[in-house]
Copies of this chain bind each other. A is one copy, B any other.
Amino acid sequence: MGIHDTNATPVGVVGLGLMGSSIVVALLASGHPVVALAPIAGEKEKAAGHIAALLRHADSARRLPWGIERCIASLKLVEKYDALAECKVVLECVVEDKAIKKVVYEHIAEAVSTEAIIASNTSAIPISELQALVPHPERFLGIHWAEPAYMTRFLEVTCGRETDLNLAEYVVSLGTSWGKEPTLLKKDIRGFITNRLMYAVYRETLSLVEAGCISISDADKALRYDAGAWMTMMGILEYMKFTGLADHLEVCKRLFSQLSNREDVPPLMQRQVEARARGVHNQSGLYPYSEAGAKAWEGAFSHFNKEIFDLATRYRKEQVHDVNEENVF
């Protein structure tokens, strides 16, 4: 019997911004009692309304097997750390500032038992660095969610140098019980998995746009209508297998030496970000969206999320075939 063997275990979430609130809803949807801690003055009231809105969205997307009422009954919204005492897992979702996280970890560690797992949702600070800030570093790891946490299957579990691998594997199984498809990153590399893969694409894309080879919209079109037509079903290595390995070897040989290896940020990107930072609002269209445009995209993406979630569910790997994929690449 482990200490975490049912979803009846209360889970703590510290930091109730956008991501923290979304994670609270994901945990409630999985049947956990949740202690949601707002460490900043005034955050509690704001979070209450936000979590309620997210619960309604999750419910409309059929992500709440037990309905909104039971979820609200399972939620303790608090401002004091001692409310975390019974939590066996505490997820930290505060700002990406190491000094602030340090203070938060001290408060958490004081409140919970020595057996508790403390995890960070960071996507910016290495887990090994954060791990040095807790009394039991072997029980500290990264649990990285994607937005909206109750609508996505993504969950990235990252070990720091001192993390107990067994514990990480336990968290993977816990994540599976939350309806996620967790990935395990055994070494604490910068950017974790998904960011590295995506920034490899950014690097090449921005370089091609800058070189005048393609337009921004064409780069997106290529991804939407090529990768976008199989990514959700296969990922990229499965797709490589599906289309045949031999050709890829030739293309790897030919292309790797052609790809961008740049380490600097493309001026194209630098310029846009700086222009925004200078506050040039509606001139030259430097803001990404008009207010109405942003609203339309947010609404559309929220609907899209539901649809792609359902689509991905119908094409889960195990429903297609049961070959042991580790052996067949």
Interface string of A259-274 (1 = CB under 8 A from B): 1111111100110110
A277 within 8 A of B: yes
A166 within 8 A of B: no
Interface string of A283-301 (1 = CB under 8 A from B): 0111111101100110011
A229 and B150 alpha carbons, distance in the complex (Å):
13
A292 and B182 alpha carbons, distance in the complex (Å):
28
A201 CB contact (under 8 Å) in B200, B319, B329: B200
A73 within 8 A of B: no
Let me know if B228 and A259 touch, CB within 8 A.
no
Closest to A217 in B: B325
> Which of A29-37, A101-109, A306-314 lies at the interface with chain B?
A306-314
A3 within 8 A of B: no
With A211-B187, A246-B277, A315-B300 known as contacts, the answer to whether A231 contacts B232 (CB < 8 A) is: yes
A251 within 8 A of B: yes
Residues of B within 8 A of A264 (CB): 256
Closest to A316 in B: B224
Residues of B within 8 A of A234 (CB): 220, 224, 301
Interface string of A221-256 (1 = CB under 8 A from B): 111111111111111111011100110111111111
A112 and B122 alpha carbons, distance in the complex (Å):
62
A197 CB contact (under 8 Å) in B227, B284, B292: B227
Let me know if A152 and B229 touch, CB within 8 A.
yes
Let me know if A183 and B222 touch, CB within 8 A.
yes
A interface, over-half SS: helix
A246 and B293 alpha carbons, distance in the complex (Å):
19
Let me know if B201 and A186 touch, CB within 8 A.
no
A7 within 8 A of B: no
Task: State how many copies of this chain the complex holds.
Answer: 2
Let me know if A187 and B212 touch, CB within 8 A.
yes
A222 and B250 alpha carbons, distance in the complex (Å):
26
A251 CB contact (under 8 Å) in B191, B209, B263, B307: B191
Interface string of A179-222 (1 = CB under 8 A from B): 01111111101110111111111111100110111111111111
Let me know if A216 and B329 touch, CB within 8 A.
yes
Let me know if B203 and A227 touch, CB within 8 A.
no
Closest to A275 in B: B245
A156 within 8 A of B: yes
Let me know if B183 and A245 touch, CB within 8 A.
no
A236 and B156 alpha carbons, distance in the complex (Å):
20
Let me know if B273 and A246 touch, CB within 8 A.
yes
Let me know if B289 and A323 touch, CB within 8 A.
yes
A262 and B200 alpha carbons, distance in the complex (Å):
12
Let me know if A202 and B242 touch, CB within 8 A.
no
A329 and B271 alpha carbons, distance in the complex (Å):
10
With A201-B197, A222-B194 known as contacts, the answer to whether A289 contacts B328 (CB < 8 A) is: yes
